[in-house]
A = this chain, B = another copy of it.
Amino acid sequence: MDEIKEECGVFGMYDLDGGNVVPDLYYGLTALQHRGQEACGLAASHTAGERGNIRFCKDAGLVSEVLSADTIKKLTGDIGIGHVRYSTTGASVAENAQPLVLSYIKGSLALAHNGNLMNTPQLKWELIQNGAVFHTTTDSEVIAFHIARERVHTRSVEEAVKKTVKRLKGAYGLVVMSPRKLIAVRDPYGLKPLCLGRRDNAYIIASESCALHAVGADFIRDILPGEILTITGEGMHSEYFAQEKAAHCIFEYIYFARLDSVLDGVNVYDARIRGGRILARTYPVAADLVAGVPDSGIPAAKGYAEESGIPFGFAFYKNSYIGRTFIKPTQKEREAGVRQKLSVLSTAVKGKRIVLVDDSIVRGTTMANLIHMLKKAGALEVHVRICAPPFLYPCYYGTDVPSNDQLIASCRSTEDIKDLIGADSLGYMRREDLKEMVQGLPLCRACFDGDYPVKPEKTE
């Protein structure tokens, strides 16, 4: 459909008491499934076992498809990492699934990566010049190679990781696992989220706090930008390899992260409620009903309703059985396509002036269809409020925004967009209001204003 795509989620766990972490990896990855539905995998090992014996399972598909009960039963360990992946630029989804499991100078290594590097070509070229050979087209393999090369000259894997990440440009939440160590790294700007949890004597690393709760763990703290956190049998220790002004990805709060997560101190549900409230103050309108586009527009609609005093309600029913293999309607049946997924609750909208809240307008076709459906069902007016500014700039850090020529906002005024989608009014969140939405948290909002924390270099 007409969506922004996140690329990944990572999860790692080390139970110092020796308990089997694999079922928890399964539950943790299920809790992160919203961050990536195309492929997944996990790797685990026994810290007391033979060195280097990391076993893994990964493939294209959902967690519940790839990791069967049988696999979970056979693949055990007290240390492990996992990954969920959205889309991939490589040819084959299955080949590029993570974690990457490799053997190198010190035995074996597994690595899972959320984010996108900007200097991959340079890093890869350097390795290739020295005779390196690549099996996949992922950034992760480049990172792993550098760690392996650095490991030759360093005393510990965390030191090799440190030397490696200093060279990376871009966004990353990284979990690295050697047979007896679990390492978490977050990029210097904190572009991608990563946090630490604990359950008894087990430590957990996850892209979002919701995954900690899924395994019954408590949230301890966020991994800090530029931090390398190493968990060994003796405990935890941290190193900081970079000091930059934090720039957390605004889109986690607007769209990616789960409502029940707290990222860098900001509760996602609250942020969306606040976003709706801001919109209500910025773009007030006389109306009878505030409704959200399911699922992600609903909390902001709730916030708009609270602030405006206009009743909150539902305008659409969402069919949750539209599978990934759903047979797409042909191009000319585009409205039919939207209709399979969302249908109007007619009695709820008939004769009403509606404020319709969503998190973004990408191509505009879906929104146009929804407005058309509402009006056909008897809605008198449809006022669209978008809980984000218009996309104007590409993201280099792993968010898959469609290219400029597909973005409705790339060369049109808000007035033009309003007319195109058939709305009675249209209001985008103002860029200056984003900060309030996340209570002053330092943000990366380059997709809205082009101000990139890590400057993109010229690449082909």
Chain A interface (Cβ < 8 Å from any Cβ of B):
23, 26-27, 30-31, 33-34, 37, 55, 62-65, 67-69, 72, 91, 101-105, 109, 128-135, 137, 141, 144-146, 148-152, 210, 213-214, 216, 258-260, 267, 269-270, 298-299, 302, 306, 311-314, 317, 319-327, 329, 336, 339-340, 343-348
Contacts and interface: CB of A to CB of B under 8 A. Distances in A.
A391 B143 CA distance: 48
Given A269-B347, A314-B299, A214 B149 contact: no
Given A213-B343, A339-B213, A144 B148 contact: no
The quantity of this chain's copies bound in the complex is: 4
A59 to B, nearest CB: 10
Contacts of A340: 27, 30-31, 214
Contacts of A101: 135
Contact of A347 (B267, B329, B345): B267
A37 B321 contact: yes
B130 A152 contact: yes
Given A133-B145, A213-B343, A216-B339, 17 more contacts: A64-B324, A64-B325, A65-B323, A65-B325, A101-B135, A103-B128, A104-B131, A104-B132, A105-B128, A128-B148, A130-B131, A132-B148, A135-B135, A216-B336, A258-B317, A269-B347, A269-B348
B105 A131 contact: yes
Nearest to A34: B321
A133 B103 contact: yes
Contacts of A69: 325, 327
A71 B449 CA distance: 46
A375 B202 CA distance: 25
A39 to B, nearest CB: 14
B260 A343 contact: yes
15 contacts: A64-B327, A65-B325, A69-B327, A72-B327, A105-B128, A105-B129, A130-B149, A133-B144, A210-B343, A213-B339, A214-B339, A269-B314, A269-B347, A269-B348, A320-B320
Contacts of A267: 346-347
Contact of A30 (B30, B109, B270, B322): B322
Contacts of A137: 103
A347 to B, nearest CB: 5
Contacts of A132: 104, 132, 145, 148-149
A210 B336 CA distance: 13
A348 B274 CA distance: 12
A344 B258 CA distance: 11
Nearest to A57: B92
A30 B64 contact: no
